[in-house]
């Protein structure tokens, strides 16, 4: 890196640092010189908070004055460069400047800009000896595209703004009118120069890309090492020289260092899900279902094998297979009603459609980390639902929040997570009788013998000894904070983005340690996640609770049924005839 490039790099670092990184003496504070622009910036910061009191609480929490905060934004001198992402960003910068990347018409502009960073990350990963013979070419493509789409997601708003600026330029507009290709004009100085200019103009985005790259490399290394050990335990032998045939990454939100759930196809044909947590909750859940099957429940459940380790687990994959007959649909919803009873009994939450797999007539729960969830996590409009069966997430709720959900490959506009029973094309509302029958069936099954109730209580005791997830906000709210923080005006300086995220997380609440954890996670493109030991619960089997729960189920499904038939009755009639045949 030349002296000129070194100066530009150090300037970008100084502007990319977050608030906490600046406060931790990584920079030399400068005095507020009374500049009018700085005072306007201060007013903008104040306005992002819900009230003057919130702003004062924020300053008190950070132990800083307004003038000192302004001084932090004006910093030009970086004292310490020992943050891990700085060295990663420097390596990326050198790699991008040292390579000649050619634009291609087969790639989008966002892919073109992110590709040099992905190229650097894969080169770093491939240079390690432990990666030899682990991933097939197909699996490698899946992993590379995972990082590519993450980078594209974080940069999409900045790139969209830059393209608008380019189109608005008079010379560019005239060139386009005369038949010149916009892509060629956008990359007129080369792909590498465009990436470097992006880092210089939006250093907070450059920091985020470095963090994402660093996390992706570390996660992939850990996954490869754990896959090798698990493959030996399975006895996997591959004649073609590869352990893993294919990988489908980012099947969950990104947590704890951009870690997510992966679907892994080993070379011998076996398929598992890889999760970066111990999996003790799933182990206890399927052990309970296996015991219920042995006790002679009328509709046995599908049991998945779970192999738990200290910091990760492997779970047998459940394949989505559609219903074939009406009898299968009725059996599916009968079992779903029985599972709903168990989840409500064990105080489960967040069992939306992505956590319930339909395998023909078998509903399979694939994520159990929110069992034994305490009260108080729901937004104000749903406080009355906190103690009811609606908290499980299996039933449709009218209050939906529009958000952009990131699942690695794309940003999909949805209206909140779909209810867990809304799987496939067959609406649960049309089979409410079967759902309620399953609900009553599990209730009667457990009440028949006191030993069965005691066994469920013992499972709850086992779960209390594990760390279960606690949800304080809907994921949709975190995604909203994250997407808004990626605006071009906020990625030009890391301090602006930190203060914006602080304002969003503190809104309407007193700052506390949990809020700081949320801010730190969002700054690094993580969806915040919290774990706590569960409290003892009471196994409630009273008739009063049953009657209330059944009334709520009927009400929720009847409302959805009326809405469905009023909008698509003819479509359902055709589908019903097809299922009957």
Q: Counting Cβ atoms within 10 Å, is residue 355 exposed (0-12), middle (13-18) or buried (19+)? A: buried
Cα(336)–Cα(358) distance, rounded to whole angstroms?
10
Per-residue pLDDT at 452 exceeds 70: yes
Q: How large a percentage of the chain has pLDDT more than 70?
A: 83
Write down the domain spans for the chain: 322-399+419-466+542-580
Cα(333)–Cα(331) distance, rounded to whole angstroms?
6
Considering only residues 282 and 183, tell me which one the structure prediction assigns the higher pLDDT: 282
Q: Is the pTM of this model over 0.75?
A: yes
**Cα atoms in the Cβ-side hemisphere of radius 13 Å centred on 209:** 33
Tell me which residue of 514, 488, 506, 516 sits closest to 19, measured CA to CA.
Answer: 516
What's the confidence (pLDDT) of residue 401? 36
Per-residue pLDDT at 299 exceeds 90: yes
Question: Residue 569: which pLDDT band, with cuts at 50, 70 and 90?
Answer: very low
Question: Residue 378: which pLDDT band, with cuts at 50, 70 and 90?
Answer: very low
Per-residue pLDDT at 205 exceeds 90: yes
399-426: average pLDDT: 44
What's the confidence (pLDDT) of residue 487? 95
Name which of 214-218, 357-361, 479-483 the model is least confident about.
Answer: 357-361
Q: Is the dihedral of CA 346, 347, 349, 351 positive or negative?
A: positive
What's the confidence (pLDDT) of residue 576? 41
Per-residue pLDDT at 4 exceeds 90: no
Burial 399-416 (b: 16+ CB within 10 A, else e): eebebebbebbeeeeeeb
User: Strand, helix or coil at 403?
Assistant: strand
Report the mean per-residue pLDDT for the chain. 83
């Amino acid at each position: 890196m030349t002296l000129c490039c070194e100066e530009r790099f150090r300037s970008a670092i100084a502007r990319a640092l977050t608030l906490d990184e600046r406060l931790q003496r990584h920079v030399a504070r400068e005095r507020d010189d009374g500049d009018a622009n700085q005072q306007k910036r201060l007013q903008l910061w104040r306005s992002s908070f819900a009230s003057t009191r919130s702003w004062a609480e924020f300053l008190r929490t950070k132990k800083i004055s307004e003038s000192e905060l302004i001084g932090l934004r004006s910093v030009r001198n970086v004292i310490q460069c020992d943050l891990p992402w700085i060295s990663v960003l420097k390596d990326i910068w050198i790699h991008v400047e040292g390579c000649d990347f050619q634009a291609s018409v087969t790639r989008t502009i966002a892919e073109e800009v992110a590709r040099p960073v992905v190229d650097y990350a894969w080169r770093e990963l491939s240079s390690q000896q432990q990666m030899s013979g682990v991933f097939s070419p197909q699996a490698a493509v899946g992993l590379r595209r995972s990082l590519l789409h993450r980078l594209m997601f974080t940069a999409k708003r900045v790139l969209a703004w830059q393209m608008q600026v380019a189109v608005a330029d008079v010379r560019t507009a005239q060139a386009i009118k005369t038949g010149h290709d916009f892509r060629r004009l956008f990359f007129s100085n080369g792909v590498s120069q465009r990436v470097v200019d992006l880092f210089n103009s939006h250093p907070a985005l450059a920091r985020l890309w470095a963090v994402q790259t660093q996390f992706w490399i570390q996660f992939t290394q850990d996954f490869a090492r754990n896959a090798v050990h698990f493959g030996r335990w399975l006895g996997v032998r591959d004649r073609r020289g590869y352990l893993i045939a294919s990988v489908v990454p980012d099947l969950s939100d990104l947590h704890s260092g951009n870690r997510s759930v992966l679907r892994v196809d080993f070379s011998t044909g076996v398929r598992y899900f890889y999760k970066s947590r111990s999996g003790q909750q799933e182990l206890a859940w399927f052990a309970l279902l296996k015991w219920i099957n042995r006790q002679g429940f009328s509709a046995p459940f599908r049991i998945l094998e779970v192999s738990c380790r200290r910091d990760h687990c492997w779970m047998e994959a459940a394949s989505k297979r559609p219903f074939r007959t009406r009898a299968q649909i009725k059996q599916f919803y009968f079992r779903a009603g029985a599972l709903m009873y168990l989840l409500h009994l064990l105080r489960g939450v967040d069992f939306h459609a992505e956590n319930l797999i339909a395998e023909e007539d078998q509903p399979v729960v694939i994520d159990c980390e929110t069992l034994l969830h305490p009260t108080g996590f729901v937004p104000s409009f749903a406080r009355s639902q906190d103690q009811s069966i609606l908290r499980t997430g299996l039933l449709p709720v009218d209050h939906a929040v529009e958000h952009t959900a990131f699942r690695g490959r794309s940003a999909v506009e949805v209206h909140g997570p779909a209810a867990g029973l809304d799987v496939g094309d067959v609406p649960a509302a049309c089979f409410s009788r079967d759902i309620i029958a399953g609900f009553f069936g599990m209730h009667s099954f457990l009440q028949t013998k006191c030993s069965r109730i005691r066994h469920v209580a013992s499972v709850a005791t086992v779960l209390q000894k594990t760390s279960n997830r606690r949800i304080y906000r809907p994921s949709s709210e975190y995604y909203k904070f994250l997407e808004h923080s990626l605006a071009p005006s906020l990625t030009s300086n890391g301090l602006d983005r930190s203060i914006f995220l602080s304002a969003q997380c503190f809104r309407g609440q007193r700052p506390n340690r949990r809020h700081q954890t949320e801010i730190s996670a969002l700054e690094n493109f993580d969806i915040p996640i919290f774990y706590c030991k569960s409290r003892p619960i009471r196994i409630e089997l009273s008739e009063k609770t049953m009657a209330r729960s059944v009334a709520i189920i009927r009400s929720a499904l009847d409302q959805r049924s009326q809405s469905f038939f009023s909008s698509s009755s003819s479509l359902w009639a055709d589908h019903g005839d097809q299922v009957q045949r």
